[in-house]
Amino acid sequence: MRNLLYDFWEQNGKERDKGKTPRGRIPRATLAALRKTDAWERLTTVLEEVFKTGVTVNGFDERYQTTIEVAVWNGQLVNKQFRKKPGSPAMDLMVEGSGFLQWLSVYALALNKDLQILLLDEPDAHLHPALQGHLIQKLTQLARENNSRSYWQRTRP
């Protein structure tokens, strides 16, 4: 999970750098297009909407580090920007609950453009019913936006 999030984050940084003008700014139209198509942008937006949670990935240098640092934090919308709540500590990704991690894993894999086919066996098992609904809604939305077909087969009664 950490590797996938790191890859999304790193690719987003490269795309943002490509979109910058000589003055170091990203034009609004370029940023809007990036926010609609980039996996990192889409993931962070959905985490903000569904969980009110932000995610931070720290840079990785294999000469000095052995793990990729990914932290999550509680946030809130401030002046149209999602910001960390004051006094809310950033926590290592892996200390989050199993439902959050399962939801995040499924959604991140669905965002991965390197995958052409994604087979999920009970991706909503053990999730709270509200999160099950959000997951199915977001996966269906992704399929629609990417002009992909999605097939849902429920094997439980």
In the DSSP assignment, the letter for residue 102 is H
Q: What is the mean pLDDT of residues 10-14?
A: 96
pLDDT, one tens digit per residue, over 30-70 is 999 999 999 999 999 999 999 999 999 988 888 888 889 99
Per-residue pLDDT, 63: 83
Please state, in angstroms and rounded to a whole number, the distance separating the CA atoms of residues 121 and 44.
24
**pLDDT band for position 142 (50/70/90)?**
confident
Cα separation, 125 vs 105, whole angstroms: 13
Q: What single-letter amino acid sits at 66?
A: T
- pLDDT above 70: residue 149: no
Domains and CATH numbers, the chain: 2-145 (3.40.50)
Q: Using CA of residue 64, residue 54, residue 4, residue 16, what is the dihedral sign?
A: negative
Residue 36 CA: distances (Å) to CA of 4, 53, 107, 139: 19, 19, 16, 15
At residue 5, the pLDDT reads 94
Give SS3 for 151.
coil
Instruction: Determine the pLDDT at residue 126.
Output: 76
Lowest mean pLDDT among 27-41, 96-110, 120-134: 120-134
pLDDT computed for residue 150 by the predictor: 61
Q: Is the pLDDT of residue 155 over 70?
A: no
